[in-house]
Structure 1
């Protein structure tokens, strides 16, 4: 690994941290660069090492959001508690579930999300006049903590997007508040997955901690920009990131 590989990896880590802090999806940027820098690195080790950067970045973003936004702890605490074991279970299942089979499904879901958001300009940028019932709260906990948490450990792309859309729809929050909540869940599922990868010996700690420095830097910049610019900014970035993720997944699927 030469000097330019180091610079490229750190740059990718900063960019990934920025994307993760705003809407999620930074792994789509960082993991390919990691594999390019270390072409003989097993995919499981790349995923495990990336989790160090991901968890530090999302935790940093969550802390910064918590200072400036109101987070519903009655939802976040149980959802985060569910996300840890769900993320671990997803990571355990990753070796046995071929991602090529469900990648097209995720692509269709992401395209649907992008179209839905693009065609509804007020969605997520203005408060929804909707009663948040107990049933909606329970669904938000189960969907965000268990289902999406499991998916994060299993595969990952689009986790932030799915969480933001789920919380905005179910809890009538704006994109900024939904993004803040998603960081807590994402950090929790990353923690569960990281434990599994570490036990399996699929984590390069020194490399991961180095990437974490860049990821935290990007997360601080991204969360500050999101807090300053608001839900409209988050909405725009979400659509752009979804387009990028779908393009990357289509290339992986059909190239």
Structure 2
């Protein structure tokens, strides 16, 4: 399928605006899929979920790549470490997807909500978390190995198993494990996301479930939003990213709670 049937101009405009906003959110702190996926599901209720997922990946990988390139020009990112973490995340994601059929999302949602609330409390009570002051800590080989295994493999597994908020978890984990400031953590997370999105998109493309024409149109807006978000994060610094992070975390908790109570 190249384009969904009976797509109105109003729906197309709505999806493009959602793609731009999702690109901005994803570039700043991750979690753009919290907006883009529901928008696709709402705008295209007649389309099968697998086509929605495939098209979402085709759109989001463009914005994520644009944000990553923007960050790489100015943020001090260890590209080798980020790519190695991304490859570990790709393997973890494939493993998580293998086990996904046997896991009930109704069981996972309350656990993730508790974890997110604990994270939000930690970020609010620790003003130095993700600031330049924390970013001065040395990055040792042990921390890099932990990042590859825990951040890459662990969060990649979560992405394949369940998914919501993966980008946000990447930023938080990279900040905690490597003692990066939030801007550098966001930049590194984008490279990891490009790796995982590329693997998922390749599988969806092989299955023939991507609506390429719609994805191409939305990707232009997602790219613009992603590059704008990256530039704002670089210009405004860690405090700005910290504020957006808290908004996204509480939004994710609200969405999971809604899904839990209405599912």
User: Residues of 2 paired with 1:199 and 1:106: CA distance?
Assistant: 31
The aligned counterpart of 1:114 is: 120
The aligned counterpart of 2:41 is: 35
The aligned counterpart of 1:51 is: 57
Q: CA 1:65–1:86 in 2, change beyond 3 Å: closer, same or farther? A: same
Q: Is the 8 A contact 1:21 1:222 kept in 2?
A: yes
Q: Greater shift after overlay, 117-126 or 79-88?
A: 79-88
Q: CA 1:154–1:44 in 2, change beyond 3 Å: closer, same or farther? A: farther
Q: CA 1:206–1:2 in 2, change beyond 3 Å: closer, same or farther? A: same
Deviations 1:123-150 (A, max 9, x none): 1113326443322110101122212123
Q: Is the 8 A contact 1:152 1:190 kept in 2?
A: no
User: Residues of 2 paired with 1:208 and 1:143: CA distance?
Assistant: 32
CA RMSD of aligned residues (A): 1.7
The aligned counterpart of 1:215 is: 222
Aligned mate of 1:80, from 80, 86, 93:
86
Aligned mate of 1:173, from 177, 180, 188:
180
Question: Per the alignment, in what secondary structure is the counterpart of residue 39 of structure 1?
Answer: coil
Aligned mate of 1:134, from 135, 141, 147:
141
The aligned counterpart of 2:25 is: 19
The aligned counterpart of 1:252 is: 259
Q: Is the 8 A contact 1:114 1:239 kept in 2?
A: yes
User: Residues of 2 paired with 1:102 and 1:78: CA distance?
Assistant: 28
User: Residues of 2 paired with 1:192 and 1:91: CA distance?
Assistant: 12
TM (normalized to structure 1)? 0.93
Question: Per the alignment, in what secondary structure is the counterpart of residue 133 of structure 2?
Answer: coil
Q: CA 1:211–1:220 in 2, change beyond 3 Å: closer, same or farther? A: same
Q: Is the 8 A contact 1:89 1:193 kept in 2?
A: no
Q: C-alpha displacement at 1:83, in angstroms?
A: 2.5
Q: CA 1:154–1:46 in 2, change beyond 3 Å: closer, same or farther? A: farther
Q: CA 1:72–1:235 in 2, change beyond 3 Å: closer, same or farther? A: same
TM (normalized to structure 2)? 0.91
**Equivalences, count:** 255
Q: Is the 8 A contact 1:85 1:192 kept in 2?
A: no
Q: C-alpha displacement at 1:172, in angstroms?
A: 1.5
Asked if residue 61 in structure 1 is aligned to residue 92 in structure 2, the reply is no
Q: Greater shift after overlay, 134-143 or 92-101?
A: 92-101
Deviations 1:73-116 (A, max 9, x none): 34213112222333344445545543222122111111111111
The aligned counterpart of 2:233 is: 226
Structure 1 unaligned runs (5+)? none
User: Residues of 1 paired with 2:21 and 2:84: CA distance?
Assistant: 30
User: Residues of 1 paired with 2:99 and 2:50: CA distance?
Assistant: 12
